[in-house]
Chains A and B, each alone.
Chain A
């Protein structure tokens, strides 16, 4: 139970960091951490298939798509 609260706290800190960072690549890396914690939470709630989908989408797909988008635009936020 304490572990679930720890994971929720981890998600919150990573999400706040993703919104604060000026460097957009760092924000993408923090978003990866958010989806990682969400995946462990789904796992603890006895939904391994949803955890698998979350891992696939959060770790690989979103990172790749955001990186391609940043590559086309610019990296630092004003």
Chain B
């Protein structure tokens, strides 16, 4: 495990982005805003998991990102189907 300066800068920028999405999730007037914010956070998280796998230098850690990319899709589609009033 070797943490460069660039990795720290990347993690800081990603954290700032997650904070902005969290503020939108807290503020958003309707439920759709909150769903969009959480969907954006889940995409950012997939990129973050791959980046953390590169920082830790473990090949196995990429599986988690793959599973995550598949499963958050199912959650978003379930919420969208509910908002459309026909699950």
Residues of A within 8 A of B (CB): 3, 6, 10, 13-14, 17, 23, 25-26, 28-30, 32-33, 36, 39-40, 43-44, 46, 48, 51-52, 55-56, 59-60, 63-64, 67-68, 70-71
Contacts and interface: CB of A to CB of B under 8 A. Distances in A.
A25 B31 contact: yes
Given A10-B22, A17-B26, A36-B45, A29 B79 contact: yes
B74 A48 contact: no
Contact of A6 (B15, B42, B78): B15
Given A26-B34, A43-B52, A63-B75, 20 more contacts: A10-B22, A14-B25, A17-B25, A23-B31, A29-B79, A30-B25, A32-B42, A33-B22, A36-B45, A40-B45, A40-B52, A48-B60, A48-B64, A56-B67, A59-B75, A60-B71, A60-B74, A60-B78, A63-B79, A67-B87
Q: How would you classify the secondary structure of chain B's contact residues: helix, strand, loop or mixed? A: helix
B38 A29 contact: yes
A59 B41 CA distance: 12
Contacts of B83: 25
14 contacts: A3-B15, A29-B38, A29-B79, A32-B75, A40-B48, A40-B52, A46-B56, A48-B61, A52-B63, A52-B67, A59-B68, A59-B72, A60-B78, A67-B78
